[in-house]
Structure 1
Amino acid sequence: MVAVLGILVTWGVMSAGATHPHKLPCTFPAIYNFGDSNSDTGGGSAAFYPAAPPTGETFFHWVTGRAGDGRLIIDFIAEQLGLPYLSPYLNSLGTNFRHGANFAMGGTTIRNLNESMSVNGVPPFHTEIQVVQFRQFKQRSARLFKLAKRHGDESEIRRLPRPQDFSKALYTFDAGQNDLSAAFRTMTNRQFVAQIPAIMDELAKRISILYEEGARAFWIHNTGPIGCLAVTLRNLPKPAPPGYLDQHGCIKSQNDMAIEFNKQLKKKVDQLRKKLPLAAFTYVDMFSAKLKIITNAIKLGFLDKASICCGYHENNNHVWCGNDGVINGTKIHAGSCRDPSSYVSWDGVHYTEAANRWIADQIIKGSFSDTLLPLSQACHGPTPMTT
């Protein structure tokens, strides 16, 4: 397989300078999000074990269930659209679903993995379950909204989505990284490549179901450069074997798999555009956006790309963020750094709020979108590139 990393990075740069005909801004009354911990605003914490400090310390100043010190990219997307932060579907308290819901769950994969391949030993709420939850949410909320209207319960009405808003909402997807992580543990790269078409078919089924439910605007993130995760970079073999690292100092084989995965995802999105002609699809090149901040970390005012704010990860000894452990007979508490804003990586796997903000700023303006349209125009179809 020939890596196309240079093409992907060039695409992001070209898109930033491209122009497109004027289109009116879209009015998105709600967001419905599906994915993994990169966009989980508390679903995993509600479903399994509650999250613990120091997560959430930067912006929320309390534990929200997000994998980071503050806001995620999905939070900045909501801000850009003038909408509240998304309530996790599984949260039983403090929820307001008028402007959407978040079905994302830490550990989520696109396909349904068996327990031996699950992420972190917990069978995740894969995307099929998330879409089932959405359908139930849509049906039950419509019934409750009707009852609230009948009884004049204004407080209940304000908490529930308006039935007509489902077709006007933005539907966001950010999943795939855990499919890659599970594959690296259980199969060869060649075996995984052979399975990617089936994974894409599964994702297409989920999107088609949402389309049948009235969804019309889709914002789909590809997967990031998993071979550049800080927790990996801090534990590279020394010296690294010839060909083990790519030109950015990341694990080449893992990034090659992410690139192939994204190539097939882009192809599937193009197919869905033809199959579902009433929908607008935006394919967002998160790989290039994240690679840009990782490889230019110091130039952008961050510490080195291998620096981790929270947790202990040295010589293949790991104590994850907020946990206690024993290293070489010494008890340690893996707390956070003094200034998370100077780090790209929060815990070795997830990004800090500062990094998420930088990435969000890039993708929101359309710099890494195949449609060349900003988030505010994501209800429109692709625009031919002109430079």
Structure 2
Amino acid sequence: MQAKELRELLTPEGLRLLDSLPAFDQKADVLAQVAKLRKAGHSPELVAAVLTQAKLRSKGRAKFGDFAERMLFTEAGLEQATRLPVASTHAGRFRRAGLTRIADLGCGIGGDALALAALDLGVVAVDRDEVTAAIATYNLAPWPSAEVRLGTAEEADLDGVDGVFLDPARRTSGHSSTQRLQDPAGWSPTLDTAFAFASRLPTGVKLGPGIDRELLPDDAECQWISVDRSVVEVGVWFGPLARPGVKRAALVLGAHGPAELTASGDSDDVEVGDLAEYVYEPDGGVIRARLIGDLARQLGASTISRDIAYLSSSAATETPFAQCFRVLETFPLDEKRLRQELKKRGIGRVEIKKRGVDVDPAAFRKKLQLSGSNEATLILTRFRGHHTALLCERV
């Protein structure tokens, strides 16, 4: 979004027009919508802005629920914004630590600041981009305890602030098509700068879940969070925001509610064992936090191969930290053999999972030439040094 489009949108006429639009329909005739709005006398900039916002609000529901209906977004801002349930866990840490006024440095469109303000915490939200800061101001307008400032994290005035939250920009600047920056020295603020705030104030830093673990500090709690089995972030927490004795945590959010594994460090692995009746695929958050060993001990399970994150047990135990599969049969990972076996069983739909083998699941599925009304799961992995296919059903 350009500044001119935003100025058009942030007028009584623009906001009334946006709120009057019907729910976004992916199949609607966009050219017809544009022609209708232009015929009504609206400028090209305003028409482009309101139709873009209608689309983004529709996408925003996945992260913000009903709040999205009164929010504004940029494409890049929505993509990078923290999901509201996750932002709520961040805000809860600050409140439990007894902090009352938080600086959200690099606030983006205001997702985390919104969650902080919703808990009646004072918020100073700072962003270096003028358009993004203006959108954050609109999104935070219902909360008088929140203010938005244009500026950088490095130069932010922290007078009166008793806690800091940072989400370093890890992509090139812009509001739509941006590119990921791999080097932490190129982030804004840099990773070293973000961690340095912890020497001044209680600090939380949101990072991508795949960050090199060697870059994570030893004196902080690192919590990986997954939402509906997708790992979305690792939060690094310092001072009173970190829980005593906790250095590694995996928080799993889903239909079951929140569930968490915590430990004082990476867990010790369990021994490799035989393939039993049930196989477990640990949640990605558990894998990233390196708490597979602790989970295995909870389940009474062993690993099926060293350095591969599949567990096996003779019992099916319900857990939010892993998906469970019953092993029906085991085959060599041979395309022709599998095609014959699946055809014999009338299996026309397969879910393919893989670890430790170089296979493209989509391409492999096509080669199986599936037909039939039954369905199953294929787990392609290594067992006893051999590439193996496990024909399974979900428990």
- TM beyond 0.5: no
Relative contact order, CA 8 A, sep 6+: which one is greater? 1
TM-score range relative to shorter protein: under 0.3
Task: Choose between structure 1 and 2: higher strand proportion.
Answer: 2
Larger Rg: 2
